[in-house]
Amino acid sequence: MRYFLGIELGSTRIKAVAVDADARPVAQGSHTWENQLVDGLWTYSLDEVWTGVQDAVSRLADDVGAQGSDVLSQVAGIGVSAMMHGYLPFDASGHQLAGFRTWRNTNTGAASEALSQALGCTIPLRWSIAHLYQAVLDDEAHIPQIAHLTTLAGYVHWRLTGERVLGVGDASGMFPIDSATCDWDERALSTAQRLFDVRSAGIDVRSVLPRVLVAGQSAGTLTEEGARLLDPSGRIRPGTPCCPPEGDAGTGMVATNAVAPRTGNVSAGTSIFAMVTLERPLPHQHPEIDLVTTPAGAPVAMVHCNNGASEIDAWARVFGQFADRAGFGLCEGQVFGTLFKAALDGEPDGGGLLAYNYLAGEPITGQEQGRPLVVRTPDSRLTLPNLARTLIMSAFATLSLGMRMLTDEGVHVDEMRAQGGIFATPGVAQRLLAAALGVPVAVAATASEGGAWGMAVLAAYAVDPHGLSLADFLAQVVFAHERVTAVGPDPDDALGFGAFLDAYRRGLAIQRVAVTQL
Helix (H, G, I), strand (E, B) or coil at 235: coil
447 pLDDT higher than 60: no
Confidence of residue 67 (pLDDT cuts 50, 70, 90): low
* Ordered DSSP codes for 80-132: EEE----BEEE-TT--B-SPPB-TT----HHHHHHHHHHHTS---TTSHHHHH
Nearest C-alpha neighbor of 270 from the set 385, 370, 122? 370
Helix (H, G, I), strand (E, B) or coil at 68: coil
Cα→Cα distances 399→267, 359, 404, 437, Å? 11, 15, 9, 8
The pLDDT value recorded for residue 430 is: 96
The pLDDT value recorded for residue 404 is: 92
| Domain span(s) for CATH 3.30.420.40 in the chain | 1-83+215-518, 85-150+175-208
Q: Please tell me which residue, 79 or 444, carries the higher pLDDT value.
A: 79
| Number of residues that this document lists for the chain | 518
The number of beta carbons lying within 10 Å of the beta carbon of residue 227 is: 20
271 pLDDT higher than 90: no
The percent of residues above 90 in pLDDT, for the chain, comes to 80
Mean pLDDT of the chain: 93
66 pLDDT higher than 60: no
The pLDDT value recorded for residue 448 is: 55
The number of beta carbons lying within 10 Å of the beta carbon of residue 181 is: 12
Average pLDDT over residues 240-258: 93
Please write the tens of the pLDDT for every residue from 335-362. 999 999 999 999 999 999 999 999 988 9
Q: How far apart are CA 509 and CA 230, in angstroms?
A: 47
Q: How far apart are CA 116 and CA 134, in angstroms?
A: 13
Q: How far apart are CA 349 and CA 347, in angstroms?
A: 6
Helix (H, G, I), strand (E, B) or coil at 206: helix
H or E, element range at 256: none
Average pLDDT over residues 54-62: 94
Max Cα distance, the chain (Å): 66
Minimum mean pLDDT among 394-398, 420-424, 434-438: which range?
420-424
Nearest C-alpha neighbor of 174 from the set 267, 307, 290? 290
114 pLDDT higher than 90: yes
The pLDDT value recorded for residue 68 is: 53
Cα→Cα distances 427→29, 343, 441, Å? 26, 11, 10
Q: Where are the alpha helices (DSSP H) in 162-223?
A: 168-171, 186-198, 205-208
Residue pair 378/342 in contact (Cβ under 8 Å)? The answer is: no
Residue pair 220/163 in contact (Cβ under 8 Å)? The answer is: yes
Residue pair 232/54 in contact (Cβ under 8 Å)? The answer is: yes
Q: How far apart are CA 251 and CA 228, in angstroms?
A: 25
Average pLDDT over residues 297-315: 93
Average pLDDT over residues 153-162: 98
The pLDDT value recorded for residue 262 is: 87
Nearest C-alpha neighbor of 252 from the set 52, 27, 418, 424? 418
**What are the residues whose beta carbons fall under 8 Å from the beta carbon of 17, sequence distance 6 or more?**
5, 6, 25, 27, 28, 60, 449, 452, 453, 455, 456
Confidence of residue 401 (pLDDT cuts 50, 70, 90): very high
The pLDDT value recorded for residue 55 is: 97
Please write the tens of the pLDDT for every residue from 3-53. 999 999 998 899 999 999 888 889 999 999 999 999 999 999 999 999 999
Q: How far apart are CA 220 and CA 226, in angstroms?
A: 11
65 pLDDT higher than 80: no
Confidence of residue 449 (pLDDT cuts 50, 70, 90): low
**What are the residues whose beta carbons fall under 8 Å from the beta carbon of 481, sequence distance 6 or more?**
none
- Rg of the chain (C-alpha set): 22
Environment class of residue 467 by beta-carbon count within 10 Å: exposed (0-12), middle (13-18) or buried (19+)?
exposed
Confidence of residue 446 (pLDDT cuts 50, 70, 90): low
The CATH number of 85-150+175-208, from 1.10.150.120, 3.30.420.40, 3.40.50.300, 3.30.43.10, is 3.30.420.40
Confidence of residue 70 (pLDDT cuts 50, 70, 90): confident
270 pLDDT higher than 80: yes
Q: How far apart are CA 435 and CA 403, in angstroms?
A: 12
Nearest C-alpha neighbor of 278 from the set 257, 267, 294, 266? 294
Helix (H, G, I), strand (E, B) or coil at 258: coil
The pTM (predicted TM-score) of the whole model is 0.84
Q: How far apart are CA 428 and CA 14, in angstroms?
A: 26
175 pLDDT higher than 90: yes
H or E, element range at 217: none
Q: How far apart are CA 32 and CA 35, in angstroms?
A: 11
CATH code, residues 1-83+215-518: 3.30.420.40
β 13-19/373-375 pair status:
unpaired
Minimum mean pLDDT among 146-155, 324-333, 394-403, 477-486: which range?
477-486
Phi then psi for residue 460, to 5 deg, are -65, -40
Looking at the DSSP bridge assignments, the partners of residue 29 are 16
| Helix, strand, coil distribution of the chain in percent, nearest 5 | 40, 20, 40
